[in-house]
Structure 1
Amino acid sequence: MALLVRPASRLAMGLFTLGSLALGGGDRPSQSILRGHLVIHDPSVARVGQHYVAFWTGDEHVGDGAPRIKTSRDGRTWTDAGTLQGDRPRWIAQHLDTYPPNLWAPHVFERQGTYYLYYSASLFGKNTSAIGLAVNRHFDPRNPGANWEDKGLVVASREGDNFNAIDAARLDTPDGRAWLAFGSFWDGIKMRELDPVSGKLKSSNPTLYSLASRGGGPIEAPSLLRRGGYYYLFTSFDKCCSGLFSTYRIMVGRSKSVTGPYVDKRGTPLLAGGGTELQAMKGRFIGPGGQEVYRDGDRDMLAYHYYDGDDAGVPKLQVSTIRWSADGWPSLDPLPNGGE
């Protein structure tokens, strides 16, 4: 879930060719030290040629609340690059009976040179929500807000549904099929099959798959990665969007099938509240979450936001290489300077 009404309040693309920039204890590298304009919430970062582009939750005071953008030439130093250009999509107000202050949790996915941007429209604490889609067939990383064509509604939820249609994450599988995970609170993380070309729901498969649940408790921000015969589902547990009082933490489970069942390292089903913790609060890194996994060549990476305990809880960007154990379970590099 994303709520960013002021700067204090996910790609199947590769990212970050740079190595880690500090040590986390002994000779083990730590997560990278990033610089520049790092304020961000729910990052989704793509490398396009020699450019890096990060999309993130909009701010109601900037660009009508459209998803915001940052760019970098080296993946380490970031600058603001405005918002997605264009008018507010009219269909949102028709579905919600109002227009929300901002659009949340964008997720960028590239397929055969076309970029798909999924975004969430909702009101905080409600499941009258919708996931929309914008498409860009002429994406220019030097002008990343331009050339987006809104394609309207992908999936929606209303009061009385047992799910919340926000926090989209797409994954295409080797059999040529495409999938969209989403969800926040309620009955947890759900999935629908997509048409891989249009990026919209596949009408011939109306199944709503259930991937993970905490029985109404806080779970959201799904992200998917396929590796070594498994599908990994990353989520955020606990409290988001509360600055220094946030308790977000990053969790993971895996399955042999993209539609589940997913289990954690102990074998507990994610549908029964299971999840293996990857990262929780430490030092100034409060409430890490809103994560998205991505590939960088032969490396798996993860981008997320945290609330900076040394800067009044402002949300900021952080990235980590994902390390893999012999039995196929992920871990993250240590935080820079031990989290201090």
Structure 2
Amino acid sequence: MFAYIPFLFLAVVNAYSDPGPCTGNCWTHDPVSDGKYFRFATGGGIHVSSADALEGPWTETGFALPSGSKINHPGNDNLWAPDVHYNKGQYYMYYSVSTLGSQDSVIGVATSRDMEAGSWNDHGSTGLSSTSATPWNAIDANWIEINGTQYINFGSYWQNLFQAGEQNGLKVKVGSAHNIAYNSTGPSNEHRMEASFMVEHDGWYYLFFSVGLADHYDTRPPAPGEEYHIDVCRSNSGTGGFVDRTGRSCTDGGGTVVLQSHGNVYAPGGQGVMNDSTRGLVLYYQWVNKTIGVTTDKFQFG
């Protein structure tokens, strides 16, 4: 399922586009197009699915790294949060190695020539990690190139979203991490901001991120409005100075709502933006279908 965003900074409450049609295995997110579409999903490892059209039908073809990661770290057999991009003849996939709720995390990277399941070469750690002594949590990586320089945006909870420079697509530049979005409200590990995704459009860099509680909807549902939703800030540099539509700094709790719960769509988040050859800019995301039941295993990409 997909939703169009004709202007990336527009948010109209109670006027959200509903997700479009999807057939086949549609339970997750992260589509990438290369003649055909690929989708990489979290769930007991990184699942690979493909389709000839964005609407599907989607067919799961296996795992990107069937044996897990070579990184010697808890969670290396249950990789999270894949982010895939193409650069200079090959595809790069960043992934997270961690356990649920932990700040003890590592971001790894693998490469492939064609994105097919089993074709990925694991390069191990990018050098980006976190412990209880760091202000960030090293998960949810997202790559972008700004004026010829590569960066990884990352972070979840704690002090929220950070950016680090890269040397060659495989390793981060030591000491380059800096904060790009932060909401200081609440306990240090419950700031509820994560899953950054940055895209350039018309000379601006848009930083999308998920805000709110992402899970346990079936056992501990949050108060209305505290569930996942998608916000955005923008900057003309891409490396800092992000503000929302009102001019509030993204490092001071700023964020313009792009998409939130509406109708049967509950808790949209885990978003990304792609430039589709026929549709233009497309926002994709996961959500809970309230007609099926508010359960964590009914996520679909949008």
TM-score tier by shorter-chain length is 0.7 to 0.9
1:268 is aligned to 2:248: yes
- Return the match for 1:207 from 165, 173, 176: 176
Residue 26 of structure 2 corresponds to: 38
Distance in 1 of aligned mates of 2:240 and 2:98: 27
2:281 to 300, 307, 310: 300
- Give SS of 2:287's match: strand
Q: Does residue 158 of structure 1 match 2:131?
A: yes
RMSD: 2.2
Equivalent-residue separation in structure 1 for 2:93 and 2:131 (angstroms): 22
- CA deviations 1:167-221 (Å, max 9, x no partner) are 0000012x211110000000110000012x4432135xx2211110111410000
Q: Is the 8 A contact 2:63 2:118 kept in 1?
A: no
Residue 318 in structure 1 maps to residue 301 in structure 2: yes
CA distance in 1, matches of 2:260, 2:135: 28
Q: Of the candidates 103, 114, 131, which is equivalent to residue 127 of structure 1?
A: 103
SS of residue matched to 1:90: coil
Q: Is the CA contact 1:305–1:315 (under 8 Å) kept in the aligned structure 2?
A: no
| CA contact 1:139–1:146 (8 Å) conserved in 2 | no
Contact kept in structure 1, 2:49 and 2:60, CA below 8 Å: yes
Q: Give the direction of change, closer, same or farther, for the CA distance of 1:92–1:283 in structure 2 (3 Å limit).
A: farther
Which of 272, 279, 282 pairs up with 2:259? 279
Quote the residue 2:11 is aligned against: none
TM-score normalised according to structure 2 size:
0.84
Pairing 1:117–2:69 present = no
Matched, 1:227 2:208: no
Mapped to 2, the partners of 1:156 and 1:177 lie a distance apart of: 21
User: Given residue 137 of structure 2, which amino acid in structure 1 is its aligned partner?
Assistant: N
SS in 1 for 2:71: helix
The answer to whether structure 1 residue 180 and structure 2 residue 152 are counterparts is: yes
Give the whole-Å Cα distance in 2 for the aligned partners of 1:107 and 1:92: 21
Indicate if the aligned counterparts of 2:30 and 2:301 stay in contact, CA closer than 8 A: no
Q: 1:71 aligns with which of 25, 31, 50?
A: 50
Post-superposition CA distance 1:115-172 (Å, at most 9, x none): 0000011111111011100011x215xxx11221111111100112111000000001
- Aligned residues, how many? 274
Deviation at 1:86, TM superposition (A): 4.0
Using CA pairs under 8 Å that are at least 6 residues apart, name the structure with larger relative contact order, 1 or 2: 1
Contact 1:225 1:232 in 2 (8 A): yes
Contact 1:103–1:120 (Cα < 8 Å) also in 2: yes
2:248 & 2:49 partners in 1: Cα distance? 38
Per-residue deviation, 1:112: 2.3
2:72 paired with 1:99:
no
Q: Is the 8 A contact 1:243 1:307 kept in 2?
A: no
Is 1:238 matched with 2:212?
yes
Match for 2:292: what amino acid? D
Aligned-partner SS, 1:36: coil
CA 286–92 in structure 1, closer or farther in 2 if over 3 Å, else same: farther
| CA deviation map 1:267-295 (0-9, x unaligned) | 11111111000111112211100001121
Partner of 1:336: none
- 2-side partners of 1:44 and 1:84: how far apart? 13
Note if contact 2:130-2:137 (Cα within 8 Å) is conserved in structure 1.
yes
Write the letter of the residue equivalent to 2:52: R
The equivalent of 1:48 in structure 2 is 34
Which residues of structure 1 form unaligned runs of 5+? 1-15, 19-27, 60-65, 320-340
Aligned to 1:7: none
Q: Which moved more, 1:175-184 or 1:99-108?
A: 99-108
The TM-score, its normalising length taken from structure 1, stands at 0.75
